Structure formats: C-alpha cells, structure tokens
Structure 1
Amino acid sequence: MARRVLRGSRAEEAVLLPPGTVAAIRAELPAVADDVVDQIIREVPAYEDAFGGPMGETIRGAVQVALGGFLSLISDRRGPSSAAPRSSAVAGAYQLGRGEVRSGRSTDALLSAYRIGARVSWQHLAAKAVEQGIEPATMASFAELVFAYIDELSAASVAGHQDEAATEGRVRQRMTERLARNLLAGAPEATLLAAAERAEWTPPTTLTAVIAPESQAGALQQALRKGTIQAADLPDLEGAALLLVPDAHDRRRPALVRAVRGRECHVGPPRPWQEVRSSYDRALRARALGLTGDTEIHLPRLVLSADPAALEDLRAQVLAPLDDLRPAAAAKLRETLRAWLLHQGRREEVAAALFVHPQTIRYRMTQVRELYGDRLEDPDTVLALTIALGVEEVSG
C-alpha cells in the first residue's frame, strides 16, 4: 500500500510508493529516456541535430538522472537526506539551461522540450504504476508530484538560460565596444580582425557612423541592420552614442536616413569598414555645426567650414578691395558679386535672384570691375572669390 507523508500545504505533499513499484519504474527509465528524446527530436526542430551522437547519449543520461532523482524523493527515504537528489537535479537543470544558450537555442525550444518530456515521462510512469496496482487516489497525488517536479526543473533551466544569456550579452557587448574603439583608433588590420572574431561579428563591406541621442540609441540599434554596433561613453560624445551600421551604402542608404529622421541624428558617409573613423569624424563635424540628418546634403557647408581660420584669411585677402567702402555699399557689392559668379555673369538671372533691375546689376558690376580690375578675368581669383562668398550662401 502506498503511503503519503504530509509536509504542510498540498503543494508540498510527498507520495511514498512501495519499494517494489519504485524498482519497477526505475527499471523503465532507460526506455523512458529513449522515448523522450525521440519525441523531442520529432516535435522540436531546434533539437533535430542536437541529439545525434554523443549529445543524444548525454541527454538520455540526463533524463534518467532527473527521473531517478524524483524516484529517490518518493521512496522510503525521508528527512534532510531527501533534499540531496532534488538539489542535484535542480543544479543539473540549471546548467542545462546555460548550455542551451551556448548551443544557440531559445527558451521556447527548451520549454517545448520540457513539455514533451513531462508528457512522455508521465505516460510511462503512469502505465507502470497502474501495472503495479497503485490506487487512483494515489495516482492523482503521484501525477501532481511528477508535474510539480518537472516544473521545478524547467524553472531552473529557464533561470540558467536567462543568466547565461545575460552574461553572454554583457560579454558580447564588451567585445563589440572594444571593437568599436579599435576601429575609431585606426588599429591595424590584424587587431581589427581578431577583435571582430572575439565579438562574433562578421565584417561587412562598409560601415556608416551614426551619432544618436543616448536615450534613443538602443531603440534605433534594434531598428537598424543586424550587426549594428553601439559604443557609448566616448569622450567626444556628451549625451550621445555612436552606432556603426553595416552595409548601409548605395540603395540601402535612403532606408537608414529614413530610420533616423526626426531623431536629431548625424549620419556620416559609408566607408570601408576598417576606415569608419572618417565617417565618424564627418558626423562629429556635422554635429558641431548643428547640421542634423544626412551629412551628404551638407557637403558644401562641411567643406567650407573644414578650416575656419583659413577661410577667414581667404575672405580677408580676396575681399580686401571692398574694405574702403561704407559697410552698406560693401554688402551690396558682395551680394551682387556672389550672384554674378553663381549665375556665370547672366545679368537677367542675377537681377531676378536679387529682385532688382538689370540696370542696377550693370551699375554695381561696373563698380566691382573698377575695384578689382583685370583680376576678375583671372581663374584663380574667380575661384577664391567663389569660395569666399560661397560661405555666405550656404550659411544663409
């Protein structure tokens, strides 16, 4: 006759089966383990190849150990010693969960395997218990304990899976951040390739630097292409983070630009992945100038502001003939000369751009020629004037 020992609440009940029944069920464990593994392979695609060869034998052994531990709990052994089988089984389940992360399987696959294992195990255990003449009331309690035990093991495996995933995620994040810093430092190719391998990151053809507000970088990273690297706490970026986006060039660039629209981001140009520092530098310069979005549409401003001191020297040199004029007169002649250069001397177009009469343009250009003389025919002077006056155009 089976005996029941109460340990407080119903959830803590333990059913003690007769030794003969326990022995009969224990003898069935190898067949149970085989059936569990076969059913998991059939029903969970993620395990189709995992149970082949030595791994299959390991899992079969683990199933037997887990169920054997359960049988030890419901045998005649009572007291503190009964905690040892459970503790050992739970520890094994926890390590199983960690191993599943390293094997690349999700908790969904893991829990599916447990559900199948519970179903198949109970079919075998129940059949053997009935064969041994266990009473229906005892069978109900036995079922409750079987499924509670397997639930405990599955919870331990999920905890192991989550802990390992978190650890692995932190390690990978550290590795990718180290890779990002090596890229920005212009490290040698061998160093970059080794860092990429450690981060389990496949080098793309190009990388594009995107500077994003720190509060939006995580969400943006998820929305961008797989393999996007995030680097935070860079000395040049106060309140912002850097994203390095793989293969966002040619036809894929518009999608990147759309993804950052309205986010106060700065998108550098695509560059060969080992040369992404130049993309980052351009995004930094655009950020310093307050030019958001795609830096490609700000190229004139970026070029003209590349060396502010040199630009000021050039302006002072090439616009010196206007220095003796009254400020208002000098401003009108600068405006007219800039429009003249941009419209290649077409008087009607210059007048339309400045909303004045063509005769006014003729009068002003006569003044400019008197001040500059033959230098207006010199290509180098024309180039210098175009650059010096062009900065006013792109700044306006």
Structure 2
Amino acid sequence: MRGSPASDGSVWARLPHELGDVVRPRIPEIARACVDGIAAEIPEYSRSFGEDPGRAVAIELTRRGIERDIDRVGTPAMWQADRLAEFRAHGREAFHNGLSREAVQAAVRVSSRVTWRWIADIAREAGLSGDVLYGAAEGMFADVETSMAAVAEGYSAAEAAMSGTGERHRRLLRALIDGRTPAEVDGLVAASGLALPPRVAAVAFRALPGAPEFPPGLLPEHVPADPSGDPSAALTPAPDTDLTGLAKLPAGWTAAVGPLVPLSSAPESFRVARRALDLSARGLLDAPGPVVWCRDHVTTLLLLADEFLVTQLAATTLEPLAGLTGRRREQLAETLLALVQTRGSAPELGRLLDLHPQTIRARLKKLAELFGEKLDDPAERLRLELALLAERALPNGD
C-alpha cells in the first residue's frame, strides 16, 4: 500500500537533512501559496480563505503543518499522531462549517500538490539529486492518502455525532424540558449514554433573522444542546463553567440561563429562561453581553411573571397618585418607595435620596394626605412596594 511508507516515516527518514534545510526558510511562502491555491480551486473555501481573518488563520495553520512535515526529513520518527489528529479536527470543523466532505478532501490534495511543486523547485535550485526528488514525491503522495483518510474519519465522526449520539442527546433534552414521564426519560437516558445530574439549569436561545449559524465549539460536547432547534435549548449541571463559551455568541444571538433546579423542575427553569429572553428583547432586562443570567434578575422576573395582574396592582394601589403631574408624581413615587422600603425618618430618607430633610417632610405630608392609614399597614406597604417596583420595571406601561 502506498500509504505505508509515510505511516512509519521511513521514506522521509531516508531523505538527506539538506532537503529540510533548504525548504524550511521558504515555508511561509509555501503556506501562502497553498491557501491561495485552495481558495482559487475550491469554491466552498473561496470566501473564508479569500480575506482576513480567515486567510491569516488558514496560512498559520498550514505553515505549522508543513513545518511539522519537513521536520521528519532525515529523522527516523513515526508519523506524528498529533498531525493525524489535526487532520481529523479539520474534518470535524469542515462538517460543522457546512463544507462538503469532497471539498475538504480536495483541499488536502491541492495543498499537497502546491507544496510538492515548491519543494521540487527548491530542491532543483539547491542542486539536490533526482533520487531526493523521487523520495520526497513518494513520501508526500503517500501522506496525501494518510491525511485524506484522517480527514474523512473526522468528518464522519462529526456527521455521526449529529445524526446518532447528537440526535439522542437532543431527544433527551426535549424530553426533559417538556416534562415527559419518568419512563420516557429513563429510556432516552439509556440511549444517550449520559449520566443525569441531580440539578440542571436550562438555557434558551434566540437568533434574530439573518443571524449567522450557531458556531461550533461554544458548548462542551457533554452538554445536551440544540441551539438551532425548536425549542432552541440546552441543559447543564454547571452553568458557570459549561457556558463560558456563550460570551462569544455572534451578533444577533442571545441566550438566557434559567435557575439551577432539581432535574424534575427543568421545564420551569426553561420557562423562566424563555421569559427572560422575551423581556430582554423588549429592553426590560439589562445584560452586559449576549447572555442573560436569570439569577441576576429574579425580582424583575417575579414582578413581570404576569404583566396583566401587576399592571392592575399598580393601577389600583397607586391610584392616589393619578391626579398629579408627571414630575410631581415621579418625586412622590420615589419618596414613597424609599419610605415603604426603609420606614426611615425624614433625615434618613434625605440622606438616602440626597435631598434636604425639609423637602422630604413636605413630601411625606403630601403622601400622608394621599394614602392615609395605608402607610402604617404592613400589608398595604408591601402592595405599594410591589406596585412601585412594577411601575419601574414597566416604565412605558407596556
């Protein structure tokens, strides 16, 4: 078999060190030529390899690969396992990027052909013998078969994960967030090969129209996930570690992480996460990045769990403020909230609101006229606090 010499490194080991010495300084040029050749000959690669940053990354990866191959010249070493692992990774990445198996294998052939032409020209310029050229050709073309086989293995593994294990994981995910019966879940657990944790957090995803596809590698393989499915979701027992990659979500994507709950409550965690996505889309939840953590917005999520009821609460409880003008109403509402939350004196509220105590006393007098004995009733004070917080959460009366 032609691939056997390359697999044990014997062909490259018989070549003189001089070949590696003359080729090594030219490797950056060879790498650029390989990437340009792939972009020119294979339409599926033209866009990503035709411009930065995709082209720069491809050149650097190609440079490292050629350098590692040339290091085998004159060295009786085995064909590196890590180099084969790289080709398998290329195959997996190609699948997840939507490239065809034929395209990624063609890229290996084009790169090998371009590299061989450069090596042959450099070797002739250096006056190396025809035997050296023949040996290099034999090693390179045998390596093509080995490399293409590794690429195919990686591509097939990614394909199988998507249609096999990956699909079983997604079925289990849907069963858990749908609240299926224990018997149904147990069967899917056995098929998935996953060990279910006692507690999980559900993740809900949303992509705007025109947003790019969900990037591969943002979630660990052990996390059951279907970001582009219906429902678009994931489940994790360790959100703080498993979800760090979501910080790199592309523009147009948002994720919301529900509370960490017992496994049986996964549907509730997912419901809360989807609610957080809805509120975030309306600008009612602030998040510093593309990920909304529900644990940071529990009060708002609770207040807005039923917007109709909370709007009714605000309308009826705060009715005494209805006849006031906008600015005057805002001032009294601000003071009222501070009062029901702290039960502080005028000086204490003045320090809290950065106002003169006399100003606070005037406002307290007006509030006493409007609300009377309600200000002394613990149950009424709670209603007032909830109504005022809800009003803040829905500033435009949404």
Distance 1:256 1:361 in 2: 49
Report the secondary structure of 1:265's partner residue.
strand
Alpha-carbon distance, 1:181 to partner: 1.4
Instruction: State the secondary structure of the residue aligned to 1:211.
Output: strand
- Corresponding residue for 1:277? 267
Change (3 A) 1:381 1:233: same
TM-score, normalised to structure 1's length? 0.53
In structure 1, C-alpha distance between the alignment counterparts of 2:312 and 2:234, rounded to whole Å? 36
Counterpart of 1:371, as a letter, is L
Structure 1 residues 194 and 366, CA, compared in 2 at 3 Å: closer, same or farther?
Answer: same
Q: Which string of whole-angstrom CA distances, capped at 9 and with x for unpartnered residues, describes residues 158-185 of structure 1?
A: 5884575355312112211211111121
Q: Output one character per residue of 1:254-280: Cα deviation in whole Å (capped at 9) or x when no partner.
A: x45654346443111112234322111
- Aligned pair in 2 of structure 1 residues 265, 160: CA closer, same or farther (>3 Å)? closer
Matched with 1:228 is: 223
Separation (CA, whole Å) in 1 of partners of 2:333 and 2:340: 11
Distance 2:334 2:152 in 1: 71
Given that 2:340 and 2:382 are in contact with CA atoms closer than 8 Å, whether structure 1 keeps it comes out as no
CA distance, structure 1, for counterparts of residue 220 and residue 148 of structure 2 = 34
More RCO (CA 8 Å, sep 6+): 2
CA contact (8 A) 1:300 1:394 kept: no
**Cα distance change of structure 1 residues 388 and 155 upon mapping to structure 2, 3 Å threshold:** closer
Q: Give the CA deviation at 1:395.
A: 6.0
Alignment of 1:200-239 (within 5 A): 200-212=193-205, 215=212, 217-219=214-216, 222-235=217-230
1:383 correspondence with 2:354:
no
Aligned residues of 2:256 and 2:273 also touching (Cα < 8 A): yes
Secondary structure, counterpart of 1:365 in structure 2: helix
1:217 Cα offset (Å): 4.2
CA shift at 1:360, angstroms? 1.1
Q: Which residue of 152, 157, 176 maps to 1:183?
A: 176
Look up the match of 2:235.
244
* One-letter amino acid matched to 1:270: L
Provide structure 2 residue ranges, at least 5 long, that are not aligned to the other structure: 3-81, 88-138
* Corresponding residue number in structure 2 for 1:265: 255
My pick for the range that moved more, 266-275 or 283-292, is 266-275
Question: Aligned runs of 1:1-396 on 2, under 5 Å?
Answer: 161=153, 165-166=157-158, 168-169=160-161, 170-212=163-205, 215=212, 217-219=214-216, 222-235=217-230, 241-248=232-239, 253=240, 255-256=241-242, 258-261=244-247, 263=249, 264-290=254-280, 291=285, 292=287, 293-394=292-393
Q: Look up the match of 2:25.
A: none
Counterpart CA distance in 1 for 2:158 and 2:227 is 19
> Alignment partner of 1:187: what SS?
coil
Whether the aligned pair in 2 keeps the contact of 1:350 and 1:361 (CA below 8 Å) is yes
1:152 deviates by 11
1:107 & 1:261 partners in 2: Cα distance?
30
Amino acid at match of 2:234: L
Report the equivalent of 1:72: none
CA gap of 1:157–1:321, structure 2 versus 1, over 3 A, is: closer
Deviations along 1:88-123, one digit per CA (max 9) or x if unpaired, are xxxxxxxxxxxxxxxxxx9969x9xxxxxxxxxxxx
Match of 1:114 in 2: none
Query: Match of 2:234, SS?
Result: strand
What letter is aligned with 1:182? A
Partners in 2 of 1:152 and 1:216 — Cα distance? Answer: 31
Whole-angstrom distance in 2 between the partners of 1:156 and 1:359: 83
Letter of the structure 1 residue corresponding to residue 331 of structure 2:
K
Q: Structure 1 segments of 4 or more deviating over 6 A?
A: 150-157
Q: For 2:384 and 2:272, locate their aligned partners in 1 and report how far apart those are by CA, in whole Å.
A: 26
Tell me the secondary structure at the aligned position of residue 227 of structure 1. coil
Contact 1:340 1:347 in 2 (8 A): no
Give distance in 2, aligned partners of 1:153 and 1:367: 87
Distance 1:350 1:261, change over 3 A: farther
Q: Which amino acid aligns with 2:360?
A: I
Structure 1 distance, partners of 2:316, 2:393, is 20
- Counterpart in 2 of 1:77? none
